[in-house]
Chains A and B, each alone.
Chain A
């Protein structure tokens, strides 16, 4: 079945460092891909999305490119801030069940001053 695999955390970085969180997926056809962020004590918020191959989603300095050839959707940010400390979830929505989301296990990011 469809699935999402994320790199395990926690990821610890210093402020202004470059961030990459890897995400790969297994799915039939062309799913939609998402990154959600969960700040401490809160629910999940949509960070960015991409709905077709080679699309780049971006928001708040974060970017991710839908790579069909490598079935990946890695999250990147050029310069992280302490306020980016959170748990990040990669997710996909299958082509045949567009209302459904399948999540990865989440990656905790800790940014130190």
Chain B
């Protein structure tokens, strides 16, 4: 089975801090994704990457950036965390098909 591992289950950060969320997948998938999950809104795509060093904006990229230096690792960066970025963040990966494999999520609280 594909394993997608997110480095933290829970994080608490202060407003203005720079925050790194890390995601690693072990199936050599080309595509990796970062979503945020909010009640009543489902999952919304923040950024995705289809290859090393390649990235594209999703539906809600404002306030976020990403890094993909190696195929297996995809990092989400909050340059200056704000309280409206308090959310559950989910990482996913996929090969040619859109069958995404998801990590368990990181619940981020910005205070």
Q: Give A contacts to B, CB under 8 Å.
A: 4, 6, 32, 34, 36, 41-46, 49, 89, 93, 98-101, 103-106
Which of B35-43, B68-76, B78-86 is the contact stretch?
B35-43
Within 8 Å by CB of B98, from A4, A41, A101, A104, lies: A101
Alpha-carbon distance between A103 and B41 when the two chains are bound, in angstroms: 9
Interface size counted on chain B using CB atoms at 8 A = 24
Alpha-carbon distance between A20 and B99 when the two chains are bound, in angstroms: 23
Alpha-carbon distance between A93 and B45 when the two chains are bound, in angstroms: 13
CB distance from A66 to the nearest CB of B (A): 15
| 7 A-B contacts (beta carbon < 8 Å) | A6-B42, A34-B99, A42-B104, A44-B92, A46-B100, A103-B35, A104-B42
CB distance from B7 to the nearest CB of A (A): 14
CB distance from A77 to the nearest CB of B (A): 21
Alpha-carbon distance between A49 and B94 when the two chains are bound, in angstroms: 15
Given contact pairs A105-B42, A106-B42, a sample of 16 additional A-B residue pairs in the complex whose CB atoms are under 8 Å apart: A32-B98, A42-B105, A43-B103, A43-B104, A43-B105, A44-B92, A44-B100, A44-B102, A46-B99, A89-B43, A98-B96, A99-B98, A100-B48, A101-B45, A103-B42, A103-B44
Judged by DSSP, the binding face of B is strand
Given contacts A43-B104, A44-B102, contact A105 B90 (CB under 8 A): no
Judged by DSSP, the binding face of A is strand
B99 — which chain A residues lie within 8 A by C-beta?
Answer: 34, 46, 49
Using CB atoms, name the residue of chain B closest to A108.
Answer: B39
Alpha-carbon distance between A99 and B33 when the two chains are bound, in angstroms: 10
* Residue B4 is within 8 A (CB to CB) of chain A in the complex: yes
CB distance from B40 to the nearest CB of A (A): 6
Q: Are B104's CB and A100's CB within 8 A? A: no
A34 — which chain B residues lie within 8 A by C-beta?
Answer: 98-99
B41 — which chain A residues lie within 8 A by C-beta?
Answer: 105
Q: Are B102's CB and A93's CB within 8 A? A: no
